Every structure is written in structure tokens, then in C-alpha cells.
Structure 1
Amino acid sequence: MEYRKLGRTGWKVSTVSFGAWAIGGTWGPVDDAESMAALHRALDLGVNFFDTADVYGDGRSERLLARLRKERSEPFHVATKAGRRLNPHVAEGYSRENLTAFVERSLRNLGVEALDLLQLHCPPTQVYYMPEVFGVLDDLAAAGKVRFYGVSVEKVEEALKAIEYPGVQSVQIIFNIFRQRPAELLFAETKRRGVGVLARLPLSSGLLAGKLTASSTFAADDHRQFNRGGAGFDRGETFSGLDYSVGLAAVEELRALVPKGHTLAQMAITWIGMHPAVTCSIPGCKRPAHVEENMAAADLPLLTPATMDAIASIYLRHARPLVHARW
């Protein structure tokens, strides 16, 4: 496992880390015993960074990570998020009162005195133009409730605005083979400012795992069923914003590029790691087998220039016309 610096925190985190959305909910049925086994296996394999949110299973994901802290002695970092509990989810809701209440709830769920890393959870674009919100985060850090803070964003433009605030240590953004725009400008700016990058949905909601087909079915509470058109939250969170059939067609072309000894998922994660501005990818893991496959990507050889060029061509033909300008 390789470790990279996360912003100016002084932390070095595993380049392939653990996304804990799936063990909370909206990815179909979950089993806490299986989730805990996956978390333990991640620690066994050198993972030291876990990403969650207060709304993942209404705190279920955070509470599982609290259990992990009690059951293991190894130190690790937990990033959580706040904001999506608002109903309606509007910029005005990002007030001192609400953010403080969200932080206190996450502190209880995680069983800690200070949150390692708090991220605004894909707030409305207007929030990035409200310096008072980032002032509240500064105050929470000064009060010892939050060690560091960052943002989780939908759009490159939001990330570029967010990193103008000096306290922002990290940007979490969708970055994968089907969503390549962050590499154009954002990564140069995050490197210049010393801001970490967390690449979420590295497997494009499972498309890049290579196991989905046109006949695959999803549970009613799985966002891959209910959010394809953006009914629950931003459409870009599901299959990277691609129509399912378009994604499947691109995956078929990608299969031919998978190096010997790799799986498609491992190639997709390796591709992300070849961008030095990315601190880590955070693939979702529900089972120990998922953990083992994903984490093995950290130790596999780099992709060849020819493979990288071929991946770029597939993006240009299949995904770029649909997603590049939007996010």
C-alpha cells in the first residue's frame, strides 16, 4: 500500500481507502456483520482512511466505524460530512446552529471528542460564495470539535471556489474513467494550494467493476434504481451521470484493455492513482472480497502509455459529450 499526504494535515493516507456509503444504505441490503468484516479486512490490508457521512443509513455507517475503533488498536482517520440532513436542502440551512448540531451528532455517532475531517456534503453552489459558512467551520476547529475540514462537491467550479478559503484541506469529487474533467485544471490548483483530493465513485456506481449487465436489477432503495434521472440527489452521483446503456457499451470496450493479472475494477483504480494530485480513491466496499480486490490495485503495476491513450479515447467518444460540460 502506498501512502500520500492529505493536504496540509500532516497525515499520510492509503492511496486506496474505504468509502463507507454502501455500508450505510441506498446500495441495496446491508448486513452489519458483513460490513464489520469488510472494515476489519481493510485495516488488515493497510487502509488508514475511511470516508462516511451522517446521512449514510441515518448514522449507521458512522456508528459502524465507532465500533471499529473499539475493536482495533491501529490508528486510522475518519472523514465524515454534514449538510444533507437539511430538509429542504438549501443554502440558508448552512447556519451556525445547524452545522454545530450536525457536528455534535456525528461526534456522538463516532464516539470521539473531535472529528478528524469534516466535509460540507455537496451543498448548493451558493454556499461556496458564503464566507460566513467557512467562518463557522474555522470556529468549530478553534473550539476543538473539528481537527480539519474540507468540501465534497458536485462540480469542478465549486471545488475551484472552495479552495480559495484557506482552511479547506481537501476536496472530494467524482473522478474516474468516465469523469475526467477534474484533471484539466482543478488538480493543478489543488497541488498549488496544498489541498488533498479524494476521488469518490472510482468505479462509477459499479459500472467499472465490470459485473453489471443490461439485465442487472437493483433494489428499490438502491440509488442505481431510483436516482438515474436525479430523483433523489444529483444525477451525476449515479453511474457518473451516464445513461446506463452508454456506460455498459463503454465498459465492453474497456474490457479489452485490462492488463493480465488485473480486473477491470483494479485497472480503474490504478488509473486514478496514476494522477499524482489525487490523494486517494475511496471505492465503496460492502464485503471483505470487495476490499481485497480493490486494495490489491495499490500494489499492481502502472498502466502503459498505450493503455492510458486508449482509455482517453473511450472517454472522448462515450462519456465526454454527456458529462464533461455539466460537472
Structure 2
Amino acid sequence: MQYRELGRTGWKVSTISFGAWAIGGTWGQVNDEESMAALHRALDLGINFFDTADVYGDGHSERLIARLRKERSEPFYVATKAGRRLSPHVAEGYNRENLTAFVERSLRNLNTEVLDLLQLHCPPTPVYYLPEVFGVLDDLVRAGKLRHYGVSVEKVEEALKAIEFPGVQTVQIIYNIFRQRPAELLFRETLARRVGILARVPLASGLLSGGISRQTRFEADDHRSFNREGAAFDKGETFSGLDFESGLAAVEALRPLVPAGQTLAQFALRWILMQQAVTCAIPGGRRPSQVEDNVRSADLPPLPDATMQAVGAIYAQYAKPLVHHLW
């Protein structure tokens, strides 16, 4: 495992970390004992950063991580998120009363007295223009409820606005072979400000795992069956905003670039880690075998320039016209 500094926190976190959305729900049927086995295997392999949210299984994901902390002695960092419990999900809801209540609930779910890292959970764009919201987070840090805070965003523009607030330590954003826009400007700015980048949806909802085909069928409670057009939340969270057919065509174009002995998933994760600005990629893992496959990418050699250029050409052909201008 490799480790990189996370913003100005002083933490060194595993470049392949653990995304806990899938063990909470909306990814089809999940088994808690298998999820726990995956979490334990992550620690075994050197993962020390786990990303969750209060809405993943209505707090279930947080509670599983609390169980992990109880069952293991090794220290690790937990990032959670708040805001999506609001209904309606509007900027006005990001007030002191609600944010404090969300933090208190996550503290209970995680069975801890202080949250390592709290992230605003893809709030409406106007929130980034409300200094008082970030003032509340500063107060929660001073009160000892949070060690640090950051943002999880949908759009590059939101991230650029968020990092103007000096307390923002991290930006979580979709960044993968099919969503390359963050590398154009955002990464340069986060490097200059020493803000960490958490690359979420690194495998484009499984497309970049190489295991999905036209014959794949998703369960009714899997967002890949019900959110392709953004019916439940931002369309960009499902298959990175690509339509299914375009995504499959892009995957076939990528396959010849994968070195012998690597999986497409490992190749896609290693591609993300070529960016110095990225602190870690946070793929999900519902089974130990998935975690093992993901972790191997951390120690792979750098990709050659020719390969990076070929990936860029595939992005330009298959994905850029569909997603680049939207997020």
C-alpha cells in the first residue's frame, strides 16, 4: 500500500481507500457479515481511510464502521457526510440547527466523540456562496465535534468556490477515466492550497470493472437500474453520467490498453493515481475479493505516457462530448 498526505490535516492516508456506499444500500442485496469481512480485509491490506455518509442505509454504513472500530485495534480515519437527509434538499436547510443535529446523529452511529472528517454531501450550488454555513462548521471544529471538514461536490465550479473557504481540507469529486474535467483546473488549485482530493466513483459504478455487459441485470433497489436519468439523485453519480451503451463501447476500447496480469479495475484505479493532486481513490467493496483486487492497484508501476495519451483519446471520443460540459 502507498500513502499520501491528506490536505493540511497531517494525516497520511492509503491511496486506495474504502468507499462504504455499497455496504449501506442502493447497490442491490448486501450481507452484513460479508460487508464486515470486506472491512476487516481492507484493514489487513493497509487501508486506513473509510468514506461513508449518514444516508447510506439510513446510517447503517456508519454503524458497520463503528463495529469495525470496536473489533479492531488499529487506528484508521473515517470520513462521513451530512446534508442529504434534508427533505426538501434545499440550501436553506444547511443551517446551524440541522447541521448540528446531523453531526450528533453521526457521532452516535459511529460511536465516537469526534468525527475525523465531515463533508457537506453534494449540497445545492447556492450553499457554496453562504459563508455562514462554513462558519457553522468552523464552530463545530472549535467545539470538538469535528477534527476537520470538507465538501463532496457534483461540479468542478462548486469545488473551486468551496476551496476559497480556508477551513475546507478536502474535496470529494467524481474523477475517473470517464470524468476527466477536474484535472484541467481544479487539481492545480487544490495543490496550491494543499487541499486533498478524494476521487469517488472511480470505477464509474462498475463499468470500469470490466464485469458489466449488455446482459447484466441490476436489482430493483440498485441505483444503476433506477437512476440512469437522475430520477433519485444527480445523474452523474450513476455510470459517471454516461449512457449505458456509450459506457460499454468505451470499456471495449480500453481493454487492449490493460497490461497483462492486471484487471481493468486495477488499470482504471492506477490511472487515477497518476495524478499527484489525488490523495486517494475510494472504490467500494462488498466482498473481500473486491477489496483485494482494488488494493493491488496501489503498488502497480506508473502507466507509460503512450498509454495515458491513448486513454485521453478514448475519453475524447466516447465520454467528453456527453459529460465534460455538465460536471
Q: Where on the TM-score scale, by shorter chain, does this alignment land: which range?
A: over 0.9
1:265, CA displacement in angstroms? 0.1
Q: How does 1:96-135 map to 2 (within 5 A)?
A: 96-135=96-135
Match of residue 181 from structure 1: 181
Q: Deviations over 1:248-293 (max 9, x none)?
A: 0000010111011110000000000000000000001100000000
* Inter-partner Cα distance in structure 1 for 2:11 and 2:195: 12
Separation in 1 of the partners of 2:88 and 2:222?
22
Matched, 1:225 2:225: yes
Instruction: Quote the residue 2:151 is aligned against.
Output: 151
1:74 Cα shift? 0.4
Q: How far does residue 203 in structure 1 lie from its aligned partner after superposition?
A: 0.2
Structure 2 letter corresponding to 1:237: E
**1:256 is paired with a residue of what secondary structure?**
helix
Task: Please give the alpha-carbon distance, in whole angstroms, between the structure 2 residues aligned to 1:102 and 1:169.
Answer: 20
Give the secondary structure class of the aligned counterpart of 1:233.
coil
Paired amino acid for 2:17: S
Deviation of 1:303 after TM superposition, in Å, equals 1.1
Other-structure match for 2:71: 71
Hey, what's the Cα distance between the residues in 2 that align with 1:85 and 1:102? 8
C-alpha separation between the residues in 2 aligned to 1:75 and 1:5? 16
Q: Which residue number corresponds to residue 4 of structure 2?
A: 4
SS state at 2:278 partner: coil
TM-score normalised over the length of structure 1: 1.00
1:18-56: CA deviation from partner (whole Å, max 9, x where unpaired): 000000000000100000000000000000000000000
2:326 counterpart of 1:322:
no
Cα drift, residue 306 of structure 1: 1.1
Moved more, 299-308 or 23-32: 299-308
Q: Which residue of 1 aligns with 2:211?
A: 211
Q: Secondary structure at the match of 1:159?
A: helix
**TM-score, length-normalised on structure 2?**
1.00
Output the amino acid matched with 2:63: R
CA-to-aligned-CA distance 1:154-207 (integer Å, 9 cap, x gap): 000000000000000000000000000000000000000010000000000000
1:211-269 CA distances to partner (integer Å, 9 max, x unpaired)? 00011100111000000000000000000000000000000010111011110000000
Q: Where does residue 138 of structure 1 map in the other structure?
A: 138
- In the aligned structure 2, how far is the partner of 1:100 from the partner of 1:7? 24
Amino acid at match of 1:126: P
Amino acid at match of 2:36: M
2:245 maps to what in 1? 245
> What is the DSSP-based 3-state SS (H/G/I as helix, E as strand, rest coil) of the residue aligned with 2:132?
helix
* CA deviation map 1:131-174 (0-9, x unaligned): 00000000000000000000000000000000000000000000
Secondary structure class of the residue paired with 2:326: coil
Runs of 4+ in structure 1 off by over 2 angstroms are none
Structure 1: gaps of 5 or more residues: none
Matched, 1:14 2:27: no
Q: 2-side partners of 1:259 and 1:187: how far apart?
A: 27
SS of residue in 2 equivalent to 1:211? coil
Give SS of 1:113's match: coil
- Secondary structure (helix, strand or coil) at the match of 1:289 reads helix
Give matches, 1:224-303, under 5 Å: 224-303=224-303
CA distance in 2, matches of 1:30, 1:72: 22
The Cα shift of 1:92 comes to: 0.4
Tell me how far 1:84 sits from its aligned partner.
Answer: 0.1
Partner residue, 1:54? 54
Give the aligned CA root-mean-square deviation in angstroms: 0.4
The Cα shift of 1:301 comes to 1.3
Counterpart-to-counterpart distance in 1, 2:119 and 2:240: 21
Q: State the one-letter code of the partner of 1:249.
A: A
Determine helix, strand or coil for the equivalent of 2:89: coil
Give me the identity figure in percent: 76
What CA deviation, in whole Å up to 9, does each residue of 1:96-138 have, x standing for no partner?
0000000000000000000000000000000000000000000
Q: Partner of 1:171: helix, strand, or coil?
A: strand
- CA distance in structure 1 between the aligned counterparts of 2:305 and 2:22, rounded to whole angstroms: 33
Cα separation, 1, equivalents of 2:133 and 2:245: 40
Q: What amino acid sits opposite 1:14 in the alignment?
A: S
The CA distance in 2 between the partners of 1:34 and 1:130, in whole Å, is 42
